[in-house]
Structure 1
Amino acid sequence: MEYRQLGESELKVSAITFGAWAIGGWMWGGTERKDAVEAIRASIAEGVTSIDTAPVYGMGLSEELTGEALKGLDRSKVQILTKFGMRWDLEKGNLAFKSKDNDGKDINIHKYAGKESVILECENSLKRLGTDYIDLYQIHWNDETTPIEETFEAVLRLKEQGKIREAGVCNYNVEQMKRADKVIKLASNQVPFSMVERGIENELVPYCIENNKGILAYSPLQRGILSGKIKPGHHFGEGDHRPATKFYQPENLNRINAFLDEIRPVAESKSVTLAQLVIRWTIDRDGITVALVGARNAEQAIQNARAINIKLGAEETRYINDRLYKLELV
């Protein structure tokens, strides 16, 4: 495994980090508890030291499963990355969207990061995770109803109390990062990035490189589509959010699969899967510190972690990029 420093912080994380959204079941059509715990432990056995989770992933379930998987391990050798600022249990802040929990019950998800809420969420996360500190504490989405300065004054207090080690953001633009950074030095920004979703390269990546901020790329496999395993007519479980997204529309699915067929020979020449090739390409990209990759079982987790062993030469990268830049989605 490769380990990378997050910005100017003292936090080192594995370049391939376990993304624990899917194991929470929420918006992924449910979860198998035993498989989820085994997936995390299999990742750690392969050298993955960092787990990224959030309270809203399964309304606490993802954090609980993370805590269960880490029981008995040396806490100092594992980095727990979690989040705050999305509440399903109170009506405050901005309504982000309506959803259903894992039992099919209707819930409203609010973006809320008032000072008292940040403190409470941290305490709840610590309990669910079974730990006394969080390595990276990240706001999940910007809350327009609360000044950024108020939110991060609470985060600063948590750091002073030793309950978190470093502060990060998710889904922030450059201006939002600048405001938060004035209150507490940010280690990183977690944002969507994949071969087919590269919008952050326009402004955010240059800013983060220039100001030494880490970037955690989430959905590097575009929620599974870049694995090459999802074809037109694929059956998704009830509650799975993916069929409604842009990339899963039939025309785009066809175009992405055609692109994957073009780069498949590179993967085959290295005896690796398409997914592994895509993960390696992602962490080689300028400004990208970490690829967050989810797994629903141990076998997926092992395959994801072993992507670190791939070496892409300049010619191979150019070959992939030449074809990628010709890919147009509708």
Structure 2
Amino acid sequence: MLDHTKDQLTRELGTSGIQASAVGLGTWAIGGWMWGGTDEARSIKAVQASIDHGVTLIDTAPMYGSGVAEDIVGKAIKGRRDKVVLATKCGLVWHTQKGNHFFDTDDGPVHRYLGKDAIIYEVEQSLRRLGTDVIDHYITHWQDPTTPIAETMEALEQLKKDGKIRSIGASNTSPEDVKAYLAAGQLDAVQEEYSMVKRDLEQTHIPLVRENNVSVLSYSSLALGLLGGRMGPERTFEGDDQRRDNPRFSMSNREKVARLMEQIAPVADAHGATKAQIVIAWTLQQPGITFSLCGARDEGQAVENAKAGLIRLSEDEVRAISTAAATHLTDLDA
């Protein structure tokens, strides 16, 4: 059974001195965009249930529903701000067309732009939506090829001096980006996709960040639900759900994942845990992975993810799961 005598696993965010739960709540789905809409009341309960079960790290972004996710998080943490390490982002903008055009939405174009003027504008918008006067971890969401990283870092370091943010992160980076951030200031974390089905980070980033005491916030640990243990072949995706046309969710992939889950099941049973919880725990025991951001759209999912922070897999269990993943997840449709 899950050992409830263990505390929620916590780790330091880079060298910032900020301690946060290793399992974090990701709020992309709560924003509704690319997830088939959102339910505000249900989403607020998901955030609050996460906090009630020891999750302190909450990650959001303006782009998640064009402010919707930040608004929901702000409502959910009202009166609980002191229990939360709050992370949000900048760099995907729709208030200006400066920078690099990224994609179009029904409301207009979105650009990648990390110029000082935009960062100063964005942080104030996020502070307002989140109902707080400081952001604990501020992350550049996607990298802007039109703005030197030194300029971006100058703005972020100034926000830190001004007390608007407490630490700095960068997401969706190349190793060269990370080196440029490190040369320009104190980078505390990178946020990158990492899961059993996407492990290239182990070669591209992990050696560099470990050498420089930079944390890794892994997102999509459950691969958008593919590794959640419930993604059967009968599942369909509607509307703007990004998984609808994603080749990673092909029938053959789901069959391969099902075979992996059969081998994870005994480990889950031994811990009184779900297969998804074991996948999250395995992720957190990979070298260099500091935090695992897990999405939740309702209270049940939030509690399930939070309890993964109580699990400590043995070395033999980690090794067995890694072997099973290598066996069943090779040659997945990309």
Question: What TM-score, normalized to structure 1?
Answer: 0.95
Q: Which residue in 2 is equivalent to 1:53?
A: 60
Q: Please tell me whether residue 200 in structure 1 is matched to residue 206 in structure 2.
A: no
After superposition, the C-alpha distances for 1:143-175 in whole angstroms (9 at most, x for unaligned) are 011111111111111111110001110111221
Q: Select which of 1, 12, 17 maps to 2:24.
A: 17
Q: Please tell me whether residue 183 in structure 1 is matched to residue 184 in structure 2.
A: yes
Amino acid at match of 2:84: V
Structure 1 residue ranges without an equivalent (≥5): 100-104
Aligned-pair distance for 1:315?
1.5
SS of 2:300's partner is: helix
Q: Which residue in 1 is equivalent to 2:3?
A: none
SS of 1:169's partner is: strand
SS of 2:144's partner is: coil
Q: Please tell me whether residue 42 in structure 1 is matched to residue 49 in structure 2.
A: yes
Q: Partners in 2 of 1:290 and 1:190 — Cα distance?
A: 9
Q: Which residue in 2 is equivalent to 1:64?
A: 71
Q: Which residue in 2 is equivalent to 1:292?
A: 293
Amino acid at match of 1:80: L
Paired residues in the alignment total: 324
After superposition, the C-alpha distances for 1:277-315 in whole angstroms (9 at most, x for unaligned) are 101101111101100011001111011101122221121
SS of 1:251's partner is: helix
Q: Partners in 1 of 2:92 and 2:163 — Cα distance?
A: 23
Aligned-pair distance for 1:87?
1.1
Q: Please tell me whether residue 79 in structure 1 is matched to residue 85 in structure 2.
A: yes
CA RMSD of aligned residues (A): 1.2
Q: Partners in 1 of 2:317 and 2:256 — Cα distance?
A: 21
Q: Partners in 2 of 1:256 and 1:7 — Cα distance?
A: 33
Amino acid at match of 1:66: V
Deviates more, 1:2-11 or 1:279-288: 2-11
Deviates more, 1:171-180 or 1:125-134: 171-180
SS of 2:61's partner is: coil
Mapped contact 1:243–1:249 kept (Cα < 8 A): no
SS of 1:242's partner is: coil
Mapped contact 2:94–2:111 kept (Cα < 8 A): yes
Q: Partners in 2 of 1:90 and 1:233 — Cα distance?
A: 43
Q: Which residue in 1 is equivalent to 2:5?
A: none
Aligned-pair distance for 1:271?
2.0
Identity of aligned pairs, percent?
A: 44
Where do 1:148-163 residues align within 5 Å? 148-163=149-164
SS of 2:303's partner is: helix
Q: Please tell me whether residue 98 in structure 1 is matched to residue 104 in structure 2.
A: yes
Amino acid at match of 2:310: N
SS of 1:285's partner is: coil
Q: Which residue in 2 is equivalent to 1:316?
A: 317
Structure 2 residue ranges without an equivalent (≥5): 1-7
Q: Partners in 1 of 2:92 and 2:276 — Cα distance?
A: 30
Amino acid at match of 1:32: D
Q: Select which of 8, 12, 36 maps to 1:5.
A: 12
Q: Partners in 2 of 1:246 and 1:9 — Cα distance?
A: 39
Q: Which residue in 2 is equivalent to 1:138?
A: 139
Amino acid at match of 1:31: T
Aligned-pair distance for 1:11?
1.4
Q: Partners in 1 of 2:326 and 2:112 — Cα distance?
A: 35
Amino acid at match of 1:54: A
